[in-house]
Amino acid sequence: MTSTSPPPSLDRDRVRELFDLRGPHMALSGGCYDGDPYPAWHRLRERAEVHPGVVHELTGYDQPAYFAGLPFPDRPHYSAFSFAACDTAYRNPEIFASSPVPVDPNTGDLNPLNSMLSMGGAQHRRYRTLVQPSFMPAKAAWWIRNWIAETVAQLIDGFVGDGRAELNVDFCAAIPVLTITGSFGVPVSEALDIRAALRDPRALVDKLAPIVAARREHPRDDLISVLVAAELTGEDGKPQRLTDAEIYSFAILLLTAGSGTTWKQMGIVLTALLQRPDVLAAVEADRTLLRPAVDEAVRWLPTDPMFSRYVTRDSDFHGVALPEGAVVHLCLGAANRDPARWELPDEYDITRKPRPSFGFGSGAHACLGMHLARAEITTGVNALLDRLPNLRLDPDTEPPRFIGMYERGATEIHVRFG
């Protein structure tokens, strides 16, 4: 499709500030790391499936790095590098818990970890059941129709006549943030303010509170209306509506996950294809290959290659005695290239036989928005191939590189076309 509307008016410099992996915000998660961690992860996995220590230090990155499960200096830390070890942790959530403390969005700090992301057991199932229907594959058309397709078309309108573009900041970063904020009922002019408010959650509440109040009075066809209408079964067995605090916790989780990971994974997909013109040409000729191209990129280079779990009782874990209270870091990036599960695992091969990876997590905590992410990436890449003939990397600019430790992604993706 094409659009006659003007492109979304996003401040490019501000987008770069919010989404540059090398910026001060992303640096906290190891954004300054510009090496390839996979050779080190292979060596570690060959020596043992599980090692004492944390992933970035074991990898050889000597700068401070923070992520879910870090730093917790008062707890012993272990890191798992094999597919089998990570699979064991995902299959045993009663031993490998997603939070060290009980989670209640109605109390405590407003942050992504005080949300469904860190819940377990029946509590997690109740909350996830509320929003799961809006993120099932059957709902992809709803997202595409209401927000994704028009955003993608307008963004391409902004550079289609130039013959060249930068796709990571000007395209990949913009699509998810505009999709998520659009589903909140936030106008484009305020989208970046909402994204920036992740650094100050109270500011996010200030933005969302009037929208939530308005949807309680007059629902619309958007995600906030879905949350407002949702009913949670209370401990007494009676249905109850979500509180404002619970809605805010969902919103901050979706904003963090949606605008914080999908743009990086979209950039990884595009870079992998552009670096392999023969594969890009095959996808352009046969669009059914785009889905395996996306899923292979998620396996080959997941944008969040590590998540953590908290040990609830003394356990033997793949030959290592874990004490109660320890933190286990699941190096999903290493697990996704375990040669015990995949042949030639370091190769990006869209023709390999599909097998589930940990790129979208696993078990009860499999990524809620994975179908939305696929819809955004496939809609975006399809539109680029439809509207930008002879799409290729710009030979006069620095080629994109993959950087970052706990949040990995591509640097600028400069392309030419036509």
> What pLDDT digit, counting tens, does each position of 249-275 carry?
888 888 887 777 899 999 999 999 999
Q: Are 361 and 367 in contact (CB under 8 A)?
A: yes
- C-alpha separations of 371 from 78, 135, 252, 263, 354 in Å: 31, 6, 19, 14, 17
| Torsional sign, CA 359, 363, 369, 373 | positive
Enumerate domains of the chain plus CATH numbers: 36-416 (1.10.630.10)
Q: What's residue 9's pLDDT?
A: 58
Nearest to 349 by CA among 405, 284, 301, 396: 301
Whether omega before 302 lies within 30 degrees of 0, making that bond cis, reads: no
Cα 90 to Cα 96: distance, rounded to the nearest angstrom:
7
Phi-psi region of 185 (alpha: psi -120 to 50; beta: other; left: phi over 0): left
Nearest to 194 by CA among 219, 176, 168, 171: 176
SS3 315: strand
- Bigger pLDDT: 141 vs 83: 83
Q: What is the dihedral of CA 382, 266, 301, 119, to 10 degrees?
A: -120
Q: What's residue 202's pLDDT?
A: 81
Q: Are strands 231-233 and 239-241 parallel, antiparallel or unpaired?
A: antiparallel
Confidence label for 8 from pLDDT (cuts 50, 70 and 90): low
Confidence label for 49 from pLDDT (cuts 50, 70 and 90): very high
Q: Residue with structure tokens 């970035």? A: 56
Question: Strand pairing partners for 330?
Answer: 80, 307
For the record, the structure tokens of 263 come out as: 């743009």
**Dihedrals φ, ψ of 413, to 5°?**
-110, 90
Residue 237 in this model has a pLDDT that exceeds 60 = yes
Highest mean pLDDT among 21-35, 115-129, 201-215, 316-330 belongs to 316-330
pLDDT above 90 covers a percentage of the chain that reads 62
Confidence label for 25 from pLDDT (cuts 50, 70 and 90): low
Residue 368 in this model has a pLDDT that exceeds 70 = yes
Render 351-410 in DSSP notation, one character per residue: TSPP---SBTB-GGGS-TTHHHHHHHHHHHHHHHHHHSTT-EE-TTSPPP-EE-SSS-EE
183 burial via Cβ count (<10 Å: 0-12, 13-18, 19+) = buried
- Bigger pLDDT: 251 vs 214: 214
Residue 248 in this model has a pLDDT that exceeds 60 = yes
